[in-house]
Amino acid sequence: MTEAELHFRDATEDDIPVLVTLVTSAYRGEASRVGWTTEADILDGERIDPEVLREDLRRARSRVLVLEGGGAESVLACAHIAEEHGAGYFGMFAVRPGLQNAGIGRRVLAEAERVVRDEWQLPVMRMTVIVQRDELIAWYERRGYVRTGRFKPFPYGDTRFGLPRRDDLRFEVLEKPLNKPGAARS
């Protein structure tokens, strides 16, 4: 697949079934073990609820970026970006498991940062990552994100976000300044 075959677009409600399948395959179940982003050892169930995704697509200052390439399975990756409390929020990031470690994730993250920085004029990008995901946190740190020491609880009991296989899950907030002179860009 060449660079010319890849392009970004905003998701629509028609994409919901494909996106739910993509995101779930990147994080849950045996299919996710092909890639390195699997959460199969800590969570079961769905990774994204179709209704939550529909709400994300409908709200203001919220987009789901889709990276497409040639071929029958053209959706290669996606990420949700939104404005929250004066900052960009990055989530629902998924790359098809067999394509992970090929630079696609870096490209999606860079496009998300570009939209938040250049189009929305927001100064920082934030995200939450499950603290047990050391390898994933390290990947983000290599792209300029820092651990803030702020934590959010895991939504235990809300099956829309998965079925925990352990009782010590929580999220850490990571962030990266986007408009600072000399700030590292992905």
Report the C-alpha gap between 92 and 71 in whole angstroms: 23
Residue 48 token pair? 């994204």
CATH code: domain 3-177 is 3.40.630.30
- Using a pLDDT cut of 70, give the percent of the chain over it: 92
Q: Pick 41 or 142 by higher pLDDT.
A: 142
- Per-residue pLDDT tens digits for 44-62: 888 899 999 999 999 999 9
- Per-residue pLDDT tens digits for 84-103: 999 999 999 999 999 998 99
Report the C-alpha gap between 65 and 77 in whole angstroms: 8
Residue 165 token pair? 């296989």
- 3-state class of 10 per DSSP? strand
Count of other CB atoms within 10 angstroms of residue 162: 24
Check residue 73 and give its pLDDT. Answer: 65
> If you count them, how many residues does the chain have?
186
Q: Is the pLDDT of residue 4 over 70?
A: no
Instruction: Provide mean pLDDT across the span 36-46.
Output: 84
- Per-residue pLDDT tens digits for 129-162: 999 999 999 999 999 999 999 999 999 998 888 8
Q: Is the pLDDT of residue 180 over 60?
A: no
CA count, 13 A, side-chain hemisphere, 6: 15
Question: β-pairing, 87-95 with 163-164?
Answer: unpaired
Task: Tell if the pTM clears 0.85, that is, is over it.
Answer: yes
Sequence spans of domains, the chain: 3-177
